[in-house]
């Protein structure tokens, strides 16, 4: 078995720990294979990251293991990025319970972690009579879940507020205060803050097996070595069933759905100001047109088809045609020629089936293993899920003593955007998104290891030219900072090397 520490550079384990309080007794990276953790979280998506950060408040040794080179590279990266009001979950369900208070939690975290969170309004549109009961059901659910402020609007008022909406609109349910975030950026900041409070993060580290031991510890086998832990939280998203089978919990099946998204050029940032759903607007299956936190227009979802596998994030011709047709239902003059990127994401949607719900609970075999089988809206529920899992861990026997010196704020290095001015100062590298050299260097220092990683943290390469002018420089910065050859720099982890040689 390979030792984790030997493979550290190659596997892309983060420098997060360099920021941790190393005076503390106990774990150092060099001793990880011998180390014993109290809790290991599997998966650093938005849910795993949120949990890690909340767990880092307590006096226990915690770690996250993640197969991808950075937090939020899985489902999190391809999610709709809205913090919904609690009107998509049937009253009385666990999902509804965990989504309660989400916006408040995100607002607070946004201040603490200094990551972007903005709010906007939402219309559930009735474009035909059959949509009316669907949208009214959402209003009713929302109110039963304790939300207020839903307003029914006539079509004419909808059009006054959103002139681009299909003029056939009959009526709508409007509500304000829906949050918008960029989830990969959040996942990163959450892990970063957790690590500065003593947590450990292992990236590029895929779990391949889990074994129970006589000494009451679990041994987690990974592609980079083994880690031992008293408790395991399975937050592996789409791969949660696979991880569950490793702990002996067979027979769990996730229903997977693939959604397709299109992002439009920023010149259309004011085309619509609110999130526009049709009818009941289910966040996993319905069509939506809306703004993003960074000022693009997003068109999404539609395709409700079970993909071939958990990693099958192909964009298909049918799904492209489908979302564009659906988008045109909402906004007839959708500027399709100004779409700058498409992507597809897969999520589990068990809870959206009739009578379905989130399933968060102990393994059949041990109260020290917790499986998270969740679905949409996972991002919205993530703070609630973290609190809930901590309660379960506590009930399962983990003693939780709050740290005296928990630092809830993430130290954000001042970069070119921080000086309170409208325009960045510094050498602009990404000309479409005005990202400077210092901002990119800062992201690499924080732990971005791949081209996509830099993109998630800085938006460099995310704009209309999609990296046409800046990618060479970003490869060079990464290569210089990491001390590896440019040919070893990947787009999104091993196997995705972006260039094939040097001239």
Partner 1 sequence: MIDLDLAVIGAGPAGLAAAVRARKEGIRDIVVFDRDDRPGGILNQCIHTGFGLLRFDEDLTGPEYAYRFVTEVNRLKVPVELGTAVVELAKDRILTAVNGKKASKYRCRAIILAMGCRERTRNAVMIPGTRPAGIFTAGKAQRLMNIDGYLPGKSIVILGSGDIGMIMARRLALEGCEVKAVVEKNLYAGGLIRNKVQCLDDFSIPLLLGHTVTAIHGEYRVEKVTICTMNEGGEPDERTAKDIECDTLLLSVGLIPENELTRMAGIGMDRSTGGAFVDNILETETEGVFSCGNVLHVSDIVDYVSLEGEIAASGAAGRIRGVLSEKRYGKRFVSGRNIRQIVPQSITQERETPLFIRVQEPTGPARITAGDIARKRVPVARPSEMIELTIEKKKCQKLLRPPGEGTIEVNCREE
> Which residues of this chain interact with partner 1, rule CB under 8 A?
267, 311, 313-317, 319-320, 337-343, 421-428, 431, 434, 451, 464-469, 471-473, 475-476, 486-487, 490-503
The least CB distance from residue 14 to partner 1, in Å, is: 20
Strand duo 256-264 + 297-305: pairing: antiparallel
Q: Hey, what are 353's tokens?
A: 């089936």
The least CB distance from residue 12 to partner 1, in Å, is: 14
Q: Nearer Cβ to partner 1, position 398 or 475?
A: 475
d(CA 307, CA 256): 7
The least CB distance from residue 192 to partner 1, in Å, is: 26
Q: Nearer Cβ to partner 1, position 295 or 397?
A: 295
d(CA 217, CA 213): 5
Is 221 among the residues known to form the active site? no
Q: Nearer Cβ to partner 1, position 404 or 422?
A: 422
- Tell me 112's DSSP state: H
Contact of 407 with 197, CB cutoff 8 Å:
yes
Dihedral angle over CA of 287, 288, 294, 296, nearest 10: 80
Contact of 477 with 440, CB cutoff 8 Å:
yes
Using alpha carbons, select from 293, 321, 342 the residue that is nearest to residue 466: 342
CA atoms within 13 A on the CB side of 78: 27
Q: Nearer Cβ to partner 1, position 287 or 351?
A: 287
Q: One of 84, 87, 131, 456 is an active-site residue; which one?
A: 84
The least CB distance from residue 333 to partner 1, in Å, is: 13
d(CA 157, CA 178): 20
Q: Nearer Cβ to partner 1, position 144 or 479?
A: 479
CB atoms within 10 A of CB 169: 24
Q: Nearer Cβ to partner 1, position 342 or 362?
A: 342
Q: Nearer Cβ to partner 1, position 134 or 441?
A: 441
The least CB distance from residue 450 to partner 1, in Å, is: 10
The least CB distance from residue 367 to partner 1, in Å, is: 37
Region label for 12, one of left (φ > 0), alpha (ψ between -120 and 50) or beta (otherwise): left
Question: Coil, strand, or helix at residue 458?
Answer: helix
> With helix as H, strand as E and coil as C, how does 350-401 read?
HHHCCCCCCEEEECCCCCCEEEEECCCCHHHHHHHHHHHHHHHHHHCCCCCC
Q: What DSSP line would sit under 232-258, residue for residue?
A: EEE--GGGHHHHHHHTT-------EEE
The least CB distance from residue 343 to partner 1, in Å, is: 6
Q: What residues are labeled active site?
A: 84
């Amino acid at each position: 078995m390979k030792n984790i520490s030997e493979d550290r550079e190659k596997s892309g384990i983060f420098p997060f720990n360099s920021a941790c309080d190393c005076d503390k007794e106990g774990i150092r990276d060099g001793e990880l294979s011998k180390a014993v953790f109290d809790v290991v979280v599997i998966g650093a998506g938005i849910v795993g990251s949120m949990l890690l950060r909340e767990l880092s408040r307590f006096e226990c040794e915690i770690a996250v293991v993640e197969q991808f080179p950075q937090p939020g590279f899985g489902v999190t990266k391809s999610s709709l990025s809205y913090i919904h009001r609690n009107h998509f979950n049937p009253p009385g369900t666990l999902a509804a319970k965990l989504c309660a208070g989400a916006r408040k939690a995100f607002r607070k975290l946004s201040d603490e972690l200094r990551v972007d969170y903005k709010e906007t309004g939402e219309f559930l549109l009735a474009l035909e009579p059959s949509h009316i009961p669907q949208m009214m059901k959402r209003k009713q659910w929302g109110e039963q879940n304790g939300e207020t402020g839903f307003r029914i609007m006539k079509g004419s008022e909808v059009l006054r507020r959103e002139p681009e909406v299909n003029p056939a609109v009959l009526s709508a349910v409007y509500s304000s205060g829906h949050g918008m975030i960029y989830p990969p950026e959040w996942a990163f900041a959450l892990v970063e803050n957790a690590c500065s409070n003593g947590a450990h993060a292992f990236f590029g580290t895929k779990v391949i097996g889990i074994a129970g031991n006589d000494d009451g510890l679990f041994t987690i086998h990974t592609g980079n070595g083994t880690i031992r832990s008293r408790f395991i939280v399975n937050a592996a998203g789409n791969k949660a069933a696979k991880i569950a089978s490793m702990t002996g919990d067979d027979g769990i099946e996730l229903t997977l759905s693939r959604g397709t998204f299109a992002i439009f050029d920023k010149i259309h940032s004011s085309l619509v100001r609110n999130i526009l759903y049709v009818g009941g607007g289910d966040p996993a299956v319905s069509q939506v047109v809306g703004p993003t936190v960074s000022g693009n227009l997003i068109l999404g979802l539609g395709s409700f088809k079970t993909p071939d596998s958990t990693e099958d994030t192909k964009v298909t011709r049918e799904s492209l045609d489908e979302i564009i047709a659906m988008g045109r239902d909402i906004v007839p003059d959708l500027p399709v020629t100004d779409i700058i990127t498409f992507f597809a994401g897969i999520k589990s949607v068990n809870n959206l089936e009739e009578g379905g719900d989130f399933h968060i609970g102990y393994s059949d075999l041990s109260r020290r293993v917790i499986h998270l089988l969740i679905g949409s809206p996972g991002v919205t529920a993530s703070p609630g899920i973290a609190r809930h899992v901590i309660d379960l861990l506590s009930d399962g026997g983990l003693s939780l003593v709050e740290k005296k010196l928990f630092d809830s704020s993430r130290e954000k290095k001042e970069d070119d955007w921080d000086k309170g001015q409208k325009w960045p100062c510094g050498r602009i590298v990404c000309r479409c998104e005005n990202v400077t050299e210092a901002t990119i260097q800062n992201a690499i220092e924080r732990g971005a290891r791949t081209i996509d990683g830099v993109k998630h943290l800085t938006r460099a390469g995310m704009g209309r030219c999609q990296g046409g002018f800046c990618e060479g420089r970003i490869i060079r910065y990464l290569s210089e900072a990491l001390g590896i050859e440019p040919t070893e720099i990947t787009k999104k982890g091993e196997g995705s090397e972006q260039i094939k040689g040097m001239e």
